[in-house]
Amino acid sequence: MTNLQSNADRFEGLATVYEASRPAPPVVLARLLCRYAGVERPELVVDLGSGTGLATRMWIGLAGRVVGIEPGDDMRRRAEEVATRIPGGEIISFRKGYGDDTGLMSGCADIVTCSQSLHWMDPHPTFAEAARILRPCGVFAAIDADMTPSFGGPAEEAFLMLRRRHRELENKLRLTPVRRWDKAGHLGRMVASGQFRYTREVLAHHVEPGSGARLVELALSMAAWRRFWPMGWRSPRSGWTCCAGRRRRLARCRFIGAIPCASA
């Protein structure tokens, strides 16, 4: 198992703002994954790097059981709290673990997902673990959203500038020993792993309600900002009054699906 605990630790203390601001995958992706897996209702779905359960809860009413694997204690506690409060949440459970070390039985899952999380995982051990826990002809899917909402105007420009500055500072100061893999390389790495016999990428359009407050929360959910504040950098709450009137946010969801090789 690759030690990437620092990647999980960067999100400690951010579960509430993460849950409030991050987009959930559209349910159409769950239905599409069922078609690829050849099942109407999967018996078990495993969600790797499940965070606060935004993608895990997508399966309520569509799967028999869902297990979220999450290394971060704060995120996992929040996911459990939310699941207990919503109808159908009893089918969901969460356990501490990693993408490359789930602790689950081989061949137990119909579908394995990574939603907004694969870029924090060592890809090849994660692919091997996904292939191990999938039953024959099961499906592994990496799901990502374009993290700059599309809504136009000065608020969108400010958010893009904020994200660029955030990444520049993080790369320059290297305040935390995190490691990430670029999302654009997910598909190529899946193919190169040799774990999957068929892979493809699908794009879906998704609309969620939003507001200026939610946009600010989204900025705050970018974990590295906490490392900058003790050094005198201002919170991204500052100077965001321009987006207070925004009512909608759009997110393009990127889905990459893979079916494991028969020998995996």
DSSP 64: S
Residue 51 lies in a domain: yes
77, part of any domain = yes
222 part of a folded domain = no
- The fraction of the chain above a pLDDT of 70, given in percent, is 78
101 within domain boundaries: yes
| CATH code for the domain of 57 | 3.40.50.150
Q: Is residue 214 part of a domain?
A: no
Instruction: Supply the angle between the helices 123-133 and 186-193 in degrees, to the nearest 10.
Output: 60
- Structural domain that includes position 83: 5-145+180-209+248-260
Amino acid 156: pLDDT: 80
pTM > 0.85: yes or no:
no
* Position 224 in a domain: no
Output the DSSP codes for 197-216: EEEEEEEEEEEEE--HHHHH
Domains held by the chain: number: 1
**28 to 18, 47, 59: CA distances (angstroms):** 23, 16, 11
Among the ranges 29-43, 138-152, 175-189, which has the highest mean pLDDT value? 29-43
Q: Is residue 120 part of a domain?
A: yes
Instruction: Examine residue 88 and state whether it is found in any structural domain, yes or no.
Output: yes
- Tell me which of 39-43, 64-68, 252-256 is least confident: 252-256
